[in-house]
A and B are shown apart, each in its own frame.
Chain A
């Protein structure tokens, strides 16, 4: 007979969430029934919105961070709250108190199962969007930080709903928690500003508030993870704090429970500290020149280096774009080719036109001032591409003329950077670029400086219309012959060429 002291009792493996219990919870979870709702919401709102955007990784990934998490907010928080008050609803709280596992461990298993299902649904939805984008995008690769922020938001939503359900069990808890999650998350970013705002910690914000998912962000320069890291820290801290709270307010039944209560209280305090730190860090955030949010304490200067790329070029006078925009190269060359052909060979005309990154500047009152290459030195910034925020191909072509053609031609014609040109210079500029006289843009509109383009209906505008009506070869020949006089302001409106057969009188 073995002596009692010789018997070795196998010690159970230290596991907070028992595997068998987790398996049961995975099978019996309300989130399974809410997944179709979440997926339907995602399809209806996020998928349709994101897929309508231009197929660029930066725009789609940043938009999806906002939309996807909001679509999952109600189903996840609702299912978690429903699971949170299950023991009370079924009147088995006392019965389960007699089981081997403490209440916190049982709760963690239920929460983990709910979160697993929600995360699975979220990842599947993101995989569909990213899979389609991978086939459509012409350059670059997936941005993972927006996905990570969204994925960190799911456990936080689940913990919020579950803790509320467990601590405040009742028939009103689930609908109120569900609406509070949607309401709180949806409007968490509405009062945020792009500069030094604590509300930047909201997981719906991907990048600067006022720039948003702009095509110019994270193309020439890497996507800065500063804000994402801060948001993940906040969400992880919030999750830990809520789960810790769940354990610390459980009624202790033994000395072991007291130890558990103290441990979970410490856990909750750590979570709160992490979340508080993240909020404080968000308050130090500011906009950088590339349209992204920098948090000095989290910033890695190595991320500021430009992304190397081989430009996509086209046209007789090469027009070169960042390869992420190569799908728009035909439209850009079609819009700029006539202007480039007209000024080809003239002094100051660029031999090549290259796209450069936009430069962003934060203005007071939450405004943003984008800028960049002015076209005169062979550089230009691309306007918002068609499909982004309701932009049409016509808007794109018009804005392209303003962004690239007007500065380029005014440089060739010798129009001073600060000030107006002579009437003939204005007429030729308007006639060549078809801005002002033809497209109806007036001075001061569309970002054009005062006096650069003629007022509609003025003699200069009429002369511009006549010049625009000339064949391209005639425009080019006249410019080659008169460019010196035009640059020095010695050409009058009357000396501008007329169409063949047109009577000057």
Chain B
């Protein structure tokens, strides 16, 4: 069936009204592979659960903090690659909802990642506690969002993973800088502020400018 121009323009107008908003959000999320990301995040949470349940972690050793920090870094990397925009620059001409959609998607996927990890660590002795997990995941995701603004969505994982390597070394060498927040305790205020700043800056950048569109992608 052919869609008449009048009906097509009505559909487009509908997408920008509150009634069409759920569909718009769904289409935006689908274009960012958010459903796939949720599956991968659930798998990461499962790995976290298995590690905590196994005897792999020696209590009190550096590995007990390094292993969860690595999982949190991987989770953050998955979160930030959802910022990749498959439509390129032309998407920016589609409507006024785009900044809100970008920020909302990043926030929702980060929240889902933290929620899934919280479920995974429930009842297990996570070093640093849940607060450390939330801080580490959000902070690394913030770095990834900043990275997405610079190198593009498909390569945004470089930020969280590079930071994770630095953090793992920092945990082993007992660094005390709040900028290496995974090396600090869960209640550390300085580390929480630094991670919060990273996440806030990443959110602002992704909302205002979005991930960089790279031709080489």
Residues of A within 8 A of B (CB): 37, 41, 44-45, 74, 78, 89, 170-172, 174-176, 178-179, 182-183, 186-187, 190-191
Residue of A nearest to B43 (CB): A176
- Contact of B125 with A by CB under 8 A: no
A171:B70 contact, CB within 8 angstroms: no
Complex: how many Å from CA A44 to CA B165? 11
CB-defined contacts of B78 to chain A, threshold 8 Å: 172, 175-176
Given A172-B81, A176-B40, CB of A183 within 8 Å of CB of B70: yes
Given A178-B157, A178-B161, A187-B56, CB of A172 within 8 Å of CB of B40: yes
Complex: how many Å from CA A171 to CA B40? 11
A179:B56 contact, CB within 8 angstroms: no
CB-defined contacts of B153 to chain A, threshold 8 Å: 171
A176:B161 contact, CB within 8 angstroms: no
Complex: how many Å from CA A132 to CA B18? 68
Given A45-B169, A187-B63, CB of A176 within 8 Å of CB of B74: yes
A171:B56 contact, CB within 8 angstroms: no
Residue of B nearest to A37 (CB): B162
Contact of B157 among A37, A170, A175, A191 (CB under 8 A): A175
Given A175-B77, A175-B78, CB of A41 within 8 Å of CB of B157: no
A-B pair count, CB < 8 Å, reads 61
Complex: how many Å from CA A45 to CA B162? 13
- Within the complex, the shortest CB–CB distance from B149 to chain A, in Å, comes to 17
Given A44-B169, A45-B169, A179-B70, CB of A171 within 8 Å of CB of B33: yes
A170:B36 contact, CB within 8 angstroms: yes
Complex: how many Å from CA A18 to CA B33? 37
CB-defined contacts of A176 to chain B, threshold 8 Å: 40, 74, 77-78
Contact of B84 among A45, A171, A178, A186 (CB under 8 A): A171
16 of the cross-chain contacts (CB-CB < 8 Å) are A41-B165, A74-B161, A89-B154, A171-B84, A171-B153, A171-B154, A172-B36, A172-B40, A174-B157, A178-B161, A182-B70, A183-B74, A186-B168, A187-B63, A190-B58, A190-B63
Complex: how many Å from CA A179 to CA B160? 10
- Within the complex, the shortest CB–CB distance from A47 to chain B, in Å, comes to 13
B74:A175 contact, CB within 8 angstroms: yes
Complex: how many Å from CA A187 to CA B40? 22
A187:B67 contact, CB within 8 angstroms: yes
Given A45-B169, A175-B81, A187-B67, CB of A78 within 8 Å of CB of B161: yes
Q: How many residues of B contact A (CB 8 A)?
A: 28
Residue of A nearest to B79 (CB): A175
CB-defined contacts of A178 to chain B, threshold 8 Å: 77, 157, 161
Contact of A171 among B67, B81, B168 (CB under 8 A): B81
- Within the complex, the shortest CB–CB distance from B139 to chain A, in Å, comes to 16
A179:B73 contact, CB within 8 angstroms: yes
CB-defined contacts of B164 to chain A, threshold 8 Å: 179
Residues of B within 8 A of A (CB): 33, 36-37, 40, 56, 58, 63, 67, 70, 73-74, 77-78, 81-82, 84, 153-154, 157-158, 160-162, 164-165, 168-169, 217
Contacts A170-B33, A171-B33, A171-B82 supplied; 20 other A-B pairs, CB < 8 Å? A45-B169, A74-B165, A78-B158, A78-B161, A89-B217, A170-B36, A171-B153, A171-B154, A172-B33, A172-B81, A175-B78, A175-B81, A179-B77, A182-B70, A182-B165, A183-B67, A183-B70, A186-B168, A187-B56, A191-B56
Complex: how many Å from CA A421 to CA B78? 69
CB-defined contacts of B58 to chain A, threshold 8 Å: 190
Complex: how many Å from CA A179 to CA B81? 14
- Within the complex, the shortest CB–CB distance from A344 to chain B, in Å, comes to 47
- Within the complex, the shortest CB–CB distance from A90 to chain B, in Å, comes to 8
Complex: how many Å from CA A182 to CA B169? 13
Complex: how many Å from CA A357 to CA B70? 41
Complex: how many Å from CA A174 to CA B40? 13
- Within the complex, the shortest CB–CB distance from B158 to chain A, in Å, comes to 8
Q: Which 6 A-B pairs have the closest CB atoms?
A: A175-B157, A175-B77, A179-B74, A171-B81, A172-B40, A183-B70
Complex: how many Å from CA A78 to CA B36? 20
CB-defined contacts of A89 to chain B, threshold 8 Å: 154, 217
- Within the complex, the shortest CB–CB distance from A31 to chain B, in Å, comes to 14
Complex: how many Å from CA A182 to CA B166? 13
Complex: how many Å from CA A178 to CA B162? 10
Complex: how many Å from CA A188 to CA B84? 33
CB-defined contacts of A172 to chain B, threshold 8 Å: 33, 36-37, 40, 78, 81
Most buried by A among B36, B160, B161: B161
CB-defined contacts of B84 to chain A, threshold 8 Å: 171
- Within the complex, the shortest CB–CB distance from A306 to chain B, in Å, comes to 36
CB-defined contacts of B40 to chain A, threshold 8 Å: 172, 176
Residue of A nearest to B160 (CB): A175
- Within the complex, the shortest CB–CB distance from B213 to chain A, in Å, comes to 14
Complex: how many Å from CA A391 to CA B157? 39
- Within the complex, the shortest CB–CB distance from A380 to chain B, in Å, comes to 34
Residue of A nearest to B153 (CB): A171
CB-defined contacts of B74 to chain A, threshold 8 Å: 175-176, 179, 183
Complex: how many Å from CA A197 to CA B143? 40
CB-defined contacts of A187 to chain B, threshold 8 Å: 56, 63, 67
CB-defined contacts of A174 to chain B, threshold 8 Å: 154, 157
Residue of A nearest to B78 (CB): A172
Complex: how many Å from CA A362 to CA B164? 36
- Within the complex, the shortest CB–CB distance from A92 to chain B, in Å, comes to 13
Residue of A nearest to B37 (CB): A172
Complex: how many Å from CA A178 to CA B84? 18
Complex: how many Å from CA A190 to CA B66? 13
Complex: how many Å from CA A256 to CA B77? 41
